[in-house]
Structure formats: C-alpha cells, structure tokens
Amino acid sequence: MGNLLSLALTTGAPAAAEAAPALLNDQLGIVYALLGVALATLLAGIGSAIGVGMGGRAAAGVLTEKPELFAKVLILQLLPGTQGIYGLLVAFVALGKIGVLGGEAPDARTGLLYLAACLPIAFVGLLSAIHQGKTSVASIGLLAKNPKTFGKAMLLPAMVETYAILALLVSILTVSNL
C-alpha cells in the first residue's frame, strides 16, 4: 500500500486508481506463494513433531526395561522427522524463486501456482509423518520383544517414507519449474 500511496501523491488519484489492480496483483502473488511456503513448512513440521513424539513415548517405555536398545529405538523414533525436513527444503527452494531469497516476486497467477506446488509435501508430509510415527511405535514394540528384528522393524516405517519422498519430488520439481 505504500507504493500505491506514493503513486497517488506523485501522479494524482486517478492514475493511482488505474495502477491499483496491478500493484495489488503483484502483492497477491507473493502472499499466495508465501502461504504455500508456510503450509509446506508448518504442516510437514507438525506431522513430524507428532510422529517423533509418538516414537519417543514408545522408545522411553522400552528403554526402562532394555537400555541397551537406545541407538536402535532412537533411529526408529527419528524416522518421522524427515517429513519436516522435506517441507523445509521445498520452502527454501520456493523462497529462492519468489524474491525472498532471490528471484523475482511472482504475479497472482504464479503465486497461486507456487501455493499449489507446495501442497503435496504439506499434506502428504503431515499425514505420512503421523502414520510413520504409528508404524515406528509398532516397530519399537517389535524390537522390544526381539532385538534381532531391527532390520525388519526399520523397513516397516521406511515404507511409509516412500510416499513422503514422492510428494517431495512432486513439490520440488514443480516449484523448480515455475
């Protein structure tokens, strides 16, 4: 709005009124793009926090009985944390392209495209991290009963990770090509 006010003061109100839609369109683009960045970061991060928290509670229960399993249960606990990293990665790539960390500020149409490009990792990151946390809890229970099953126990939550990686690829490739 500062640009619009200075335009009105220097050229007069009619010229400012004609220029207002273009200025608002430019500002809407960055707003839409930043909304996508925020959703990718927040939703994937929230999912990771929930998933890692689930795994941590299960790990703490196992460690009271079998402290020698610390390293193995820690790995299983941390697996759901990757989705938050994926969301942050998409956010940094987008910020680099929309004029915050470099690049040009997008118009409204392009801003909406950035928003849409960030949605796969936002929502898949949220949901897959929560389900990976649940699977990690089950794997920690499996490990508690039979420590020799670590390889199998690790594979189960890693399968959930596949879908987070697919969403990461879709978001990264889309953001990179806008």
Q: What is the pLDDT of residue 103?
A: 73
Q: Domain for residue 6, yes or no?
A: no
In single-letter form, the type of residue at position 65 comes to E
In single-letter form, the type of residue at position 34 comes to L
In single-letter form, the type of residue at position 108 comes to A
Q: What is the pLDDT of residue 15?
A: 58
Q: Domain for residue 87, yes or no?
A: yes
Q: What is the pLDDT of residue 61?
A: 94
Q: What is the pLDDT of residue 6?
A: 52
Q: Domain for residue 7, yes or no?
A: no
Q: Domain for residue 21, yes or no?
A: no
Q: Domain for residue 133, yes or no?
A: yes
Q: Domain for residue 70, yes or no?
A: yes
Q: What is the pLDDT of residue 100?
A: 87
Q: Which domain holds residue 154?
A: 30-176
Q: What is the pLDDT of residue 5?
A: 44
What does 60-128 look like in DSSP terms, one character per residue?
HHHHHH-GGGHHHHHHHHHGGGHHHHHHHHHHHHHHHHBTSSSB----HHHHHHHHHHHHHHHHHHHHH
Task: Evaluate whether 44 touches 83 at the Cβ level (below 8 Å).
Answer: yes
Q: What is the pLDDT of residue 1?
A: 46
Report how far Cα 131 is from the mean position of its chain's Cα atoms. Answer: 16
| Residues of the chain falling short of pLDDT 50 | 1, 4-5, 7-9
Total number of domains constituting the chain: 1
pLDDT in tens, 81-101: 999 999 999 999 999 999 888
- Indicate which CATH number applies to the domain containing 121: 1.20.120.610
Q: Domain for residue 56, yes or no?
A: yes
Q: Domain for residue 132, yes or no?
A: yes
What is the model's pTM? 0.83
